[in-house]
Amino acid sequence: MKMNAASIKNQKAEWEALGVKLPAFDHEAMTAKTKEHPVWVHFGAGNIFRAFPAAVLNDALNSGKYDRGVIVAESFDYEIIDKAYQPYDNLSLLVCLKSTGDIDFAAENGIQGVLFEGWNKGWENWGGNQQFDYLEPYADFDLERIAAYAREKGVQLWMHNETGGNILSTKPSWKQR
């Protein structure tokens, strides 16, 4: 199966049998509204965009809080649009593994490190009054256990802290830890 607009409509049962959670919104209507009256443009079409802001938008579309997609512009690697977006009707599949699963995959495949984003408190305010805590993980992210597991497997942990565009908000944590 190939991920595209036709397959999520015509092969819904097959996707769901694989455990893929498909959009609950009308993809055709959303695409038409986006083309007719685009509102949101995002610069940078890489994996972090597809995994995080796109996932937030998907939740907003599924809940009915928003009715359009996002126009994605790429200024660095133009082939991303041609090869990773257009052949799949601008759809992507977000796969979330448990952190130890990511580390195991990296160790088994010679990958040097694993990037974690969304581990620190404050994501529940994304798009609003963003108050990220740059040092405190969510309760379900046991950083010490995950770090020990990664060391045991010889895999580096790379932690990404989202600033929501407000880099100076990180300043109080610069000298901590």
Per-residue pLDDT at 127: 62
What pLDDT shows up at residue 66?
Answer: 92
Asked if the model's pLDDT at residue 52 lies above 80, the reply is no
pLDDT interval class at 49 (50, 70, 90)? low
Structure tokens at 15: 């996707």
Separation between Cα atoms, residue 153 and residue 164, nearest integer Å: 32
pLDDT value, residue 126:
64
One-character DSSP codes across 101-144: HHHHHHHHTT--EEEEES-BTTGGGTTSS----SS-B-TT--HH
Contacts of 14 (CB under 8 A, 6+ apart): 1
Q: What is the pLDDT of residues 4-48, one digit of tens each?
A: 899 999 999 998 888 788 899 999 999 999 999 998 887 877 766
What is the torsion angle, in degrees rounded to the nearest 10, for the CA atoms of residue 50, residue 51, residue 56 and residue 62? 80
The answer to whether residue 177 scores a pLDDT higher than 60 is: no
Task: Tell me the C-alpha distance between 162 and 126, whole Å.
Answer: 10
**Which residues on adjacent β-strands are paired with residue 115?**
158
Share of the chain above pLDDT 70, in %: 86
Residue 34: the pLDDT is 93
pLDDT of residue 83: 81
How high is the pLDDT of residue 51?
65
pLDDT (tens digit, 9 = 90+) per residue, 60-99?
A: 999 999 999 888 888 777 787 888 788 888 887 765 556 6
Average per-residue pLDDT for the chain: 81
Please report, as a single letter, which amino acid is at residue 176: Q
pTM confidence score: 0.56
pLDDT (mean) for 133-148? 83
The residues with which 159 forms a beta bridge, in sequence order, are 116
